[in-house]
Amino acid sequence: MSLSNFYASISGMEAQSRAMQSVSMNIANMTTTGYKSNETMFSTLLGSQPAIKTNASGNYGSRSDIYGVSAYERTNILKQGTVASTGNNYDVAINRENAFFMVRDGYDNVYYSRAGNFSTLTEDGVTYMVNSSNMKVQGFEALEEGGFSSSPSHIIMPSTDVIPSVPTSTVSLLANVPASDVNSSSYGITIYGPNNDGQNMNMIFSKVEGNVNTWDVSFNMDGATVSSDPIQVVFGNNGEVLSPQNFDFTVDWSDGSQNVVTMDISKMTQYDGANVVKDLAQDGKSSGNFLKSYIDDDGVLKAAYSNGQTIDVAKLSLVGFTAPENLTAVTGTLFQAGNGTGDSFYVMGYDTADKTIVKAQSLESSNVNPEEEFSRMIQVQRAYSMNTQTFTVNNEMVSTIIDLKS
C-alpha cells in the first residue's frame, strides 16, 4: 500500500481548514462597512500521469494518480450589501454594483473600495478626506468658474475661515410708485460690496414737471458713491413701465472697491396708493462663517456658510471595470485592478449628473449572509471530520500491513 493514499485526505483537511478560515473571516466581518464576503472554491489535484484513451472511440479511462483537492478563494465583489442611513456628513453609499471609490496610499498606489465611511486627516497643514485606512479619497476638484476638473486628485477639505462678501451684481424690484399726491418716492435697497457686508441705498423717484408719468431716478448711499447715466422712467397709462425696464449703476466704495449693478424694474407699477415694495431680490451676500461640510446625493463635497452660501469643493470619483469580478482583493474592503479587470471607466465622472448612483449620509453594509455562513460552517466541519476519518483508516491499514510483514 502506497503512502500516496494519505495525500488525498491530507489535502482535504488542508482545503477544508482553508474553507473554515474563509467562513470565520466572513462571520467576523459581518458588520464591516463595504466588506465583500469570500467563498472557498475547490479543484481536483492531478498527478503527473496523463489520461489515456481506452478505445478507438476516444473515451478516457479514469486516472489512478489523482492526489486530492486544492482550494482557492473567490470574492463576491458584485453582490451588494444593504444600504442604511447613518446621518454622518461624510458617509456615502454606492447604489450600483459595478462602481468603486478610488483611494491612494502614501506611496501613490491606487486601490478601489465600496466602503464610504470617510473622515478627515491633516498633514502639513492640509486636511484631506480619507478612508478608514487613512488612504486619500480621490475626486474632481471644483473650479472657480464652475464645474469640476476632468482629472481626479486628492480631495482637500474646505477652509474653515470666513468667506468674503459676494458683491451685488443684479437687483430686481417690484414696487409701486404713487400716481398722485406725491412729488417723490424712495425705496431702500441693501447693496453688498467686495469688502462690505451690506449698506442701505435709497433709490429716489422724483416727478418730472410738465411730463406726465415721468420720473427722474437718483441714488443716495452712506459710505459709497452711486453713479449712472441720467435715468428717466416713463410709465404707461395703465401703470406699466415703458422705459427703461433695465439700467446699470456703479457703486464706488470708500475703500476703493467698486461693483456695477444691473437694476430690473420691469415689473414696477404706477398706481394710486402707497409706495409699497412687493418683492425685492438681489444676488449679493454678506461675508460668512464656516458652518459645516457634507457630501450630497450628487456625490459632491460641499461647504456651507452662515450667509446662506453653499460652495462646491470636490466631486467623488467612482470607477467601474469591464470585468470587475477579476479585481484582486487586498483586504475585504480594498481591491486592486490588474490585467484581468479590463478597461476602467468613470461611473460618476466630473460631468455626471445622476442622483441615483450614491446615497449621502448612508453606508453599504457587508454582503455576508449569516444563515449561509453557518450552513457552510457545518458543511466544512463535516467534510473535515470525514477527511480525518479517512486519514485514520489509511493509517490503520498501513499499520496492519507493517505488522503482517514484521
Instruction: Dump pLDDT digits (tens) for 29-75.
Output: 999 999 999 999 988 876 655 555 566 566 655 555 667 888 888 89
What is the pLDDT, as a whole number, of residue 399? 83
What is the pLDDT, as a whole number, of residue 398? 80
In which element (H, E) is residue 251 found?
strand 246-253
Distance CA 101, CA 329 (A): 14
Amino acid sitting at position 54: T
What is the pLDDT, as a whole number, of residue 72? 86
- Which residue, 348, 360, 192, is CA-closest to 282? 192
Residues with pLDDT less than 50, the chain: none
Query: Domains in the chain and their CATH numbers?
Result: 5-76+367-405 (no CATH), 83-163+290-364 (no CATH), 170-282 (2.60.98.20)
Residue with cell 467612482: 318
Distance CA 166, CA 358 (A): 32
Max distance between CA atoms of the chain, in angstroms, equals 140
In which element (H, E) is residue 384 found?
helix 370-405
237, three cell numbers: 397709462
Q: How many CB atoms lie within 10 A of CB 340?
A: 11
Distance CA 148, CA 51 (A): 61
Sign of CA dihedral 244, 245, 250, 253: positive
Specify the DSSP class assigned to residue 144: T
324, three cell numbers: 470587475
In which element (H, E) is residue 179 found?
none
Q: How many CB atoms lie within 10 A of CB 254?
A: 13
CB–CB of 244/228 below 8 Å? no
